[in-house]
Amino acid sequence: MGKKFYIETYGCQMNVADSEVVAAILTAKGFEHVKDKNRADIILVNTCSVRENAEQRVRGRVQGFSEIRKQNPRLLIGVMGCMAERLGEKLFEQEKNVNIVVGPDAYMDLPLLIEKANRGEKAINIQLSETETYKDICPSRIDETSISGFVSIMRGCNNFCTYCIIPYARGRLRSRQKESVLNQAQRLVDNGYVEIVLTGIHTAGYGEDLDDYSFYELLVDLVKIKGLKRLRISSIETSQISDEIIDLIGSNEIIVDHLHVPLQAGSDATLKRMNRKYTTAEYLEKINKIRSYLPNIAFTTDVIVGFPGETDEEFEETYNFIKQVNYSELHVFPYSPRKNTPAAKMKDQVNDQIKHERANRLLQLSKELNHEFALKQIGKTLKVLFEKRDGEYLIGHAGDYLKVKVKTADNLIGEIVTIKIDKYDEILEGRVV
């Protein structure tokens, strides 16, 4: 049987982390990871089901692999992740190219599923687990040029927001043991990563199911990792940003001065229908408190537009609230009904045209906010982690997640360098000081 595998990843940073886990599992069993899908015996697509368009993109991709199969009739095609969990055996019926279906808690079973598929048998495992965290797996480095390693610290979610399929596709919240997280982080740094990004469906929910260890305590231990230069939190709810966490960010240079804090809606009525367990007043109070301690911090957020029942007035409330918070960037998503979620059954579904009109308004606002935030950095010095070279320029990200370029011949990739910002033209530009 052929043992060369290729992975494509769609969706969130959690999926990126999962793909690296899968690569490690298969490599340990003698499989070889290849970067060219045309050389592969097995193509695995790690999927997202959060929005319908994500699934449609995956379907198109899977169908497109027919050309490769013409050259290699024994090619196996597997669908992993949330879409696999949601659709299960239906994928075999709907997508004739698919040989393997494996849910996010069943990756340890992949080598056996591949064997079954090679024998022409139906290969599927979408069983959710109450305990699986892949705690003993050190993710394999898929992108050898990357200097950022993703560490998934928890899985699942207990929140049951009315629009979200995640609790059904990935199960309930479960945290990895601290030793597992810390050991993985150290191994990643030892293997050349200089930045670690903490991921999870509900990242700062880490520790809620542990007796004597919290997310804050994990951060305290992580910043002690030998050789770690930067630590980034992929996402965190405002309600979970404690005074201790604020103090730690302010006093430790390893944790970046950027927080991604999901909003979803700036209207209390919309938030209530979403089952988001905060009000705009509570959210803004926490943002203002953080800014009073950390005046230079950057906030980004997620926003859903066109949620069922969202009136013009509610959307305007969201628009104005976003301006009030003054984010540095928005991630905007038109609401996508997911089957069997409460929101999909709600009355007053918003038509697609209105959704896209509202999304475009917020995307334009995001550009304006990002531009304003970037202009404020001119004249300042920023700590920049350089990630790649583009001609004469080195390019990287500052702690506030703005992209920065510097014209230099020096090899500073993987280094954090103090840069004086001189100008802004779609990207900040500065010089080493």
Residues of the chain above pLDDT 90, percent:
69
CATH number at residue 413: 2.40.50.140
Q: How many domains in the chain?
A: 2
- The range of the structural domain enclosing residue 91 comes to 4-125
Q: Write the pLDDT tens digit of every residue in 40-67.
A: 999 999 987 666 677 888 888 889 888 8
Which of these three, 105, 125, 145, is where a domain ends? 125
Euclidean distance between CA atoms 175 and 165, whole angstroms: 19
Those residues whose C-beta lies under 8 Å from the C-beta of residue 284, and which sit 6 or more positions away, are 321, 324, 325
The encoded tokens of residue 60 equal 């198109």
**Within a domain: 279:** no
Minimal CA–CA distance to 56: which of 343, 336, 341?
336
- Percent of the chain whose pLDDT exceeds 70: 96
In the DSSP assignment, the letter for residue 279 is -
Report the CATH number at residue 63. Answer: 3.40.50.12160
**pLDDT at 374 exceeding the cut of 90:** yes
Question: Which pLDDT tens digit goes with each residue over 100-155?
Answer: 999 888 899 999 999 999 999 989 998 877 666 677 777 776 666 678 888 989 98
Reduce the DSSP state of residue 188 to 3 states and report it.
helix
CB 323 within 8 A of CB 284: no
Which residues, including other chains, have CB under 8 Å from residue 224's CB and lie 6 or more apart?
none
- C-alpha 25/C-alpha 391 separation (Å) is 37
> Is residue 119 domain-resident?
yes
**SS3 category, 42:** strand
Among candidate residues 312, 372, 369, 303, the one with its CA nearest the CA of residue 331: 303
Question: Where a domain ends, among 68, 97, 125?
Answer: 125
